[in-house]
């Protein structure tokens, strides 16, 4: 079995290229109690949709964690953070 060097690097604390998440856009976050959370994410130019924690955003990308103004995504076992836009003009977080 062959493994690409980028994949092997991820096993040992490697990092994603700086533009790895350029196709993902965080539009909002939802938290409902301690264990239920989701993010509103847009992939490329598709309409945004709700993604629960632990679910796939795209084939190799999963939503790992939801925070107050950002989310953590897991791409091939390497985690990175997506932030909400600074000036959106409306509410983007819902906490219950």
Q: Are strands 36-43 and 61-66 parallel, antiparallel or unpaired?
A: unpaired
State the chain's mean pLDDT as an integer. Answer: 80
CA distance 57 to 25: 11
Question: What is the reported pTM?
Answer: 0.73
Residue ranges of the domains in the chain? 5-95
Tokens in use for 87? 């000036």
The model's pLDDT over 2-38, given as tens digits with 9 standing for 90+, comes to 445 455 555 555 555 555 678 999 999 998 876 789 9
Q: Which of 96, 44, 22 is nearest to 66 (CA)?
A: 96
Domain 5-95 has CATH 2.40.50.140: no
Q: How confident is the model at residue 71 (pLDDT cuts 50, 70, 90)?
A: very high
Q: How far is CA 96 from the centre of its chain?
A: 21
């Amino acid at each position: 079995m062959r493994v690409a060097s980028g994949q092997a690097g991820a096993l040992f604390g490697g990092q994603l290229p700086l533009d790895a998440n350029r196709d993902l856009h965080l539009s909002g976050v939802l938290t409902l109690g301690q264990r239920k959370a989701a993010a509103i994410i847009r992939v490329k130019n598709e309409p945004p949709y709700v993604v629960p924690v632990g679910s796939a955003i795209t084939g190799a990308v999963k939503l790992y964690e939801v925070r107050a103004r950002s989310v953590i995504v897991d791409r091939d076992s390497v985690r990175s953070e997506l932030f909400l836009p600074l000036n959106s003009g409306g509410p983007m977080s819902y906490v219950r």
